[in-house]
Amino acid sequence: MNDLVQWDLQEVQEVITSLKHKPGALFPILHGIQNLAGYIPAESLPLIADALHQTRAEIHGVVTFYHLFRMTPPGRHSLEVCRAEACQARGSRALEAHVKAKLGIDYHQTTTDREFSLEDVYCLGNCACGPSIRIGDDIIGRVTPEKFDQLVDELTTVALEIRS
Amino acid sequence: MSIKIYVPRDTTTLALGGEKVVSMILAQAESRGIDIELVRNGSRGLFWLEPMIEVQTGNGRVAYGPVEARDVAALFDAGLPEGKSTHRLALGDPEEIPYLKKQQRLTFARAGITDPVSIADYKLHDGFKGLENSLALSGQMIVDEVKASGLRGRGGAAFPTGIKWQTVHDCAADQKYIVCNADEGDSGTFADRLVMEADPLMLVEGMIIAGLAVGSTQGYIYLRSEYPVAHQIMKEAIANAYQAGYLGENIQGSGKKFDLEVRLGAAAYICGEETSLLESLEGKRGVVRFKPPLPAIKGLFGQPTVVNNVLSLAAVPFIMAHGSKAYADCGMGRSRGTLPFQLAGNIKQGGLVELAFGPTLRELLDDFAGGTETGLPMRAIQVGGPLGAYLPQSQWDTPLDYEAFAAIGAVLGHGGVVVFDESVDMTEQARFSMEFCVEESCGKCTPCRIGSTRGVEVIDKIRAGDKVEANLALLDDLCETMIDGSLCAMGSMTPIPVKSAFKYFPEDIALAHSRMSIQTEAK
């Protein structure tokens, strides 16, 4: 989605302006900004607060309450691993350990090459066919360590243009 | 004439390579010069057979599954376009598959049959009949019908839906709201998701009827962000309903109005609790509210609000189309109608099983689960999501009914059934329940906010063999404090899985200890 995170304050302001009239506008605004920028930049908080006649502290409180909203730029691929019981019963504990070892990061971290951000998630609703992971908006089921390695290879393989 | 081929577009099908199957079907059809019409239906909920593709023949549909992309060419060779059943993946008439045939599908009658976002398809299969009947009735008459059906909230608390509606109906207010709780956070549950992905117009219809019943013109579906596929399908269905005049200013020329919008959550389990959900919809931290006032009296933006689970609202069109009696005739005791059970975890045949209340847990597993995926014996079953009890063999003969489960200190909740085989370490599961509470507590009540962290620590000591008896007593005391001192189910029910794990599987304490000492020595 966001190769190098790119956004400018003008676009953020446009998102805010287009949604601020809605009842309970803060959630649509935060989703809008995170879809645009990949995260909620600190610089956007005063703009949101201003538009909704709330304090910056209130906006900050909401952003930090929810697991989904993040205030740091994610990696190129947002990866979520399901930790909930139905996936545990199908081997997700081993998968979690494998994923962390393979990427060399823990939850809430991003790889140094900025390819992957790793988050935990509590249930993707694919509980009959776990263990499940989510990459961007794609949910993938029956993920074994081997299948995971293959996915990582596919996502990180860059087609090189060779000029003759 | 072109041949109709159905490939579901639900999360599970996509998670198992559904899109690749679609590309292969299109490529095969083109290279063989076969004219096909591809329909993206919903799943029938037989997830162990997904991707399950179906072909329309002169004698009804023929199914094949589970299909992988690499099977498609061979399936075409074996006569899939003609609906031949020679290939090993051929399943014959999908309605005759025992897993489906043995069910009583009221809510999920259309799942997998129709194109989920097609208004024409929906109407062809009894859609909007409940709404048509409702438009001719007064609000009170609709409320009475729902009351007579005996429908109880399917989110977990099982509160009678009709009584909740009556309260909102009786409140005088300029604006009332219908809020659908689609924050299906329980692990092992996917019935709400299947409604939204396989038959979203049924939910739309149920919400319009709820609006007519209580006098509300605005509905919100609070959908969890972990369901991107359901979000997309729900948005398409709502847009189509607007275009066909079922939503908006003048519903089917009746002069009645109802608007509906999907709002996305942001990954907080607590927002499945109704007051926390309302806070979140208002754009606040999802912190639980005190009750009273009940949301029915003072809910969203301080106005009278119906908050119902997806399944409760989805049951309403059937009730209004076929009458309360047809619904109430199913079930047992005070649990009327059907409950979609969701079989998940370590089993061969996971999926959605809609049955009238009454069979035992063991019957459900024997008839449908097909044994464990790993082939090891089943050991523990968690029913009712992460706040539900872990049940050992000795409890599996309990009938699946709200009261029978309550009588053994367990909950039916949203109908999720998660099976673990004998390799499970139940002390680890107990620890996870506390850890989940640490992660997801809204922080309002101290026993939940801090008790859960202390719970993890005490369980760690027990697992390490540190003063086991004394720490078990301490854990028991902590659980009592959480039960008595928490406002909502998060804090007051987290002790249920924890206590059941230690009560029914005490032998795992010594096992955990020996396992952990081996690990320590290895280091």
Alpha helices, DSSP H, located in B323-415: 324-328, 361-364, 402-407
Angle formed by the axes of helices B310-322 and B200-214, nearest 10° = 80
Q: Which CATH number fits domain B426-522: 3.40.50.720, 3.40.190.10, 3.20.20.80, 1.20.1440.230?
A: 1.20.1440.230
Q: What count of Cα atoms within 13 Å lies in the side-chain half-sphere of residue A145? A: 12
Is B377 in the A-facing interface, judged by CB distances under 8 Å?
no
CATH no. for B331-421? 3.10.20.600
Beta strand residue intervals within B74-194, DSSP E: 90-92, 177-182
CATH 3.40.50.11540 fits B119-327, yes or no: yes
What are the structural domain ranges in chain B? 3-101, 119-327, 331-421, 426-522
In B, minimum Cα distance to A126 occurs at B12
Residues 77-136 of B with CB under 8 A from A: none
Q: CB distance from B419 to chain A under 8 Å?
A: yes
Q: What residue ranges do the domains of chain A occupy?
A: 6-65, 77-163
pLDDT tens across A52-68, in order? 999 999 999 999 999 99
Residue owning tokens 């464990």: B372
A52, closest residue in chain B (CA to CA): B283
CATH class given for the domain over A77-163: alpha beta
Q: What is the ipTM of this complex?
A: 0.95
CA atoms of B308 and B301, how far apart (whole Å): 17
Mutate to test the interface with B, among A129, A140, A144, A147 (most CBs of B within 10 A): A129
Q: Name the nearest CA neighbour of A117 among A65, A76, A69.
A: A76
- The yes-or-no verdict on residue A1 having pLDDT over 50 is no
Residues A88, B429: C-beta atoms closer than 8 Å = yes
> For residues B342 and B352, is the Cβ–Cβ distance under 8 A?
yes
Q: Are A29 and A15 in contact (CB under 8 A)?
A: yes
CATH of B3-101, one of 1.10.1740.10, 3.40.30.10, 6.10.140.120, 1.10.150.20: 3.40.30.10
| Among B12, B233, B431, B439, the residue to mutate for chain A (most A Cβ within 10 A) | B12
The HSE-up count of residue B102 (CA atoms within 13 Å, CB side) is: 14
Residue B37, phi then psi, degrees to nearest 5? -115, 115
**B170: DSSP letter:** H
Give me the tens of pLDDT residue by residue for chain B, a chain 523 residues long: 799 999 999 999 999 999 999 999 999 999 999 999 999 999 999 999 999 999 999 999 999 999 999 999 999 999 999 999 999 999 999 999 999 999 999 999 999 999 999 999 999 999 999 999 999 999 999 999 999 999 999 887 889 999 999 999 999 999 999 999 999 999 999 999 999 999 999 999 999 999 999 999 999 999 999 999 999 999 999 999 999 999 999 999 999 999 999 999 999 999 999 999 999 999 999 999 999 999 999 999 999 999 999 999 999 999 999 999 999 998 778 888 889 999 999 999 999 999 998 899 999 999 999 999 999 999 999 999 999 999 999 999 999 999 999 999 999 999 999 999 999 999 999 999 999 999 999 999 999 999 999 999 999 999 999 999 999 999 999 999 999 999 999 999 999 999 999 999 999 999 998 888 877 776 6
The contact set of A with B (CB < 8 A) is: 23-28, 30-31, 52, 61-62, 65-69, 84-90, 121-130, 132, 134, 137-142
Q: Which of B174, B182, B397, B144 minimizes the C-alpha distance to B308?
A: B182
Query: What totals of helices (H) and strands (E) does chain B contain, helices first?
Result: 23, 16
